[in-house]
Amino acid sequence: MFRVSTLKSVYILLLILSFNIIAGQSQKKSKPNVIFIVVDDLRPELGVYGNSTIKTPNIDKLARRGTTFTNAYCQVAVCAPSRASALTGLRPDSTKVWVLGEEFRKIHPDVVTIPQQFEKFNYHTVSIGKIFHNHMPDSISFREPDLRPEGYAVKNMIDRDPESFYFSGELKAELAAKRLERLAKDPKRYGNGWAY
């Protein structure tokens, strides 16, 4: 995994990839598998976008087998509104989601999201990581919502940002210490202090 510097106002709908049937399965035509990867706050600093310095062989290989979109725009320079808009097809004027704490399901309980549309056509939908927004995994949209590493799918971790799941003991300790500092300053801190 690598990190690149981010521009807060950049929202990139990184890849929508469709694959053919895996080798060894029936040769008859079938619906394609779809992997939808959505990233906010990421510049297109990947090989697939022409960057030869940063090495991203697996994403590049995936992109060669699918479709890469090179023009994507955000309606709001904040992730929750942009994600709600991209995944519902509604503008922020319609979703009424303008900041991180708002939930489009409370405003539009019956809106159909992209994963729900796939479910209508008998796709098996799975959410891994940050798809909508951390505080709102939207289990209605997925057959398997909010997959988390073992140990993080417990009650006191539900509001924790998926991007704060670390497997290094050193990073876990750093995160826990920073969380306590943030909660000492503001006990009602967003994400129960886990956002880091």
Indicate which residues carry an active-site annotation.
79, 133
Please give the radius of gyration of the chain, using alpha carbons only, rounded to the nearest integer: 18
Determine the Cα angle at 185 with ends 181 and 191, to 5°. Answer: 75
The C-alpha atoms of residue 74 and residue 82 are separated, in whole angstroms, by 6
Q: Residue 180 and residue 125: Cα distance in Å, rounded? A: 36
Q: What is the DSSP letter of 136?
A: B
- Which residues sit opposite 136 in a β-bridge? 133
Q: Cβ(84)–Cβ(69) under 8 Å?
A: no
Of 127, 103, 107, 106, the closest CA to residue 115 belongs to 127
Tokens coding 32: 């394609």
